[in-house]
Amino acid sequence: MSTTRRDLLTAALTAAGAAAASDLAGGEEHDHHDNHDHQVVPSDPTLRVKALESLMVAKGLVDRATLDAVIDMFEHKVGPHIGARVVARAWADGTYKERLLKDARAALAELGYGYVSEGELVVVENTPKVHNLVVCTLCSCYPWSVLGLPPLWYKSAAYRARSVIDPRGVLREFGLELSEDTEVRVWDSTAYQRYLVLPQRPTGTGSMKEEELATLVTRDAMVGVARVTAGRRGSER
């Protein structure tokens, strides 16, 4: 954001705050003493969000209770634990896996999960010969219904550009070295079609129950930048 835009937002919020203070004081000038801590001006994205929220509430386009519900959903309800449960079921039940690959939305509904998004979700399966990697080269489209909010690196210009130019190099930087005879398929997400990787089930997990299998499945593995391993749980960045 340019300095000018930041200054505009800061000024707008400061003016809004001053107006509110004036209202509280019955319209009289606020008697200002410098004996309290001044709040540090928030970051650019925070300022932008606050400005947008204030405008939308003021214009009656949304209400605060709805906004709180949306924030609560992203903070507490959706997340990679949902994708992990879906993956674990697919590992444990071959017929479920077939249904998942064919119609992900219906397969999610079987487990009681909604795919609350415009467009479709496509599940792509890793095999010993094929490794799938998901990116959104345009912006940051991501299957948040099953993975929650995307990590910062997913939205970075470097990941978005380099994943399609040099996927093996990007995967190497994530610590995933693929053999030359493994085909890498890169899937470019859009608002209309997003992707979830079904990772390979790690060896040595034959006796594990579905709930335990789910604890092994990481967000990174479901984006395709990591494998699932039997001994490591939830390693993310």
Beta bridge partners of 196: 123
**Binding piece for Fe ion, criterion CB under 5 A, among 89-97, 137-145, 194-202, 228-236:** 137-145
Q: Does 136 bind Fe ion (CB under 5 A)?
A: yes
Active site residue 136: yes
Q: Does 141 bind Fe ion (CB under 5 A)?
A: yes
Active site residue 189: no
Token pair, residue 202, equals 């790690």
**Binding piece for Fe ion, criterion CB under 5 A, among 88-96, 135-143, 156-164, 168-176:** 135-143
Q: Does 164 bind Fe ion (CB under 5 A)?
A: no
User: Nearest CA to 132 among 65, 77, 178?
Assistant: 178
Residue 136 CB, shortest distance to Fe ion, in Å, is: 4
Among 55, 106, 130, 139, binds Fe ion (CB under 5 A): 139
**Per-residue DSSP letter, 123:** E
Q: Of 22, 54, 139, 235, which one is the catalytic site residue?
A: 139
User: Nearest CA to 173 among 236, 225, 135?
Assistant: 225
**Per-residue DSSP letter, 199:** P
d(CA 143, CA 108): 12
Three-state DSSP state, 180: coil
Q: Does 198 bind Fe ion (CB under 5 A)?
A: no
Instruction: Summarize as ranges the residues that interact with Fe ion (CB under 5 A).
Output: 136, 138-139, 141
Active-site residues, by number, are 136, 139-141
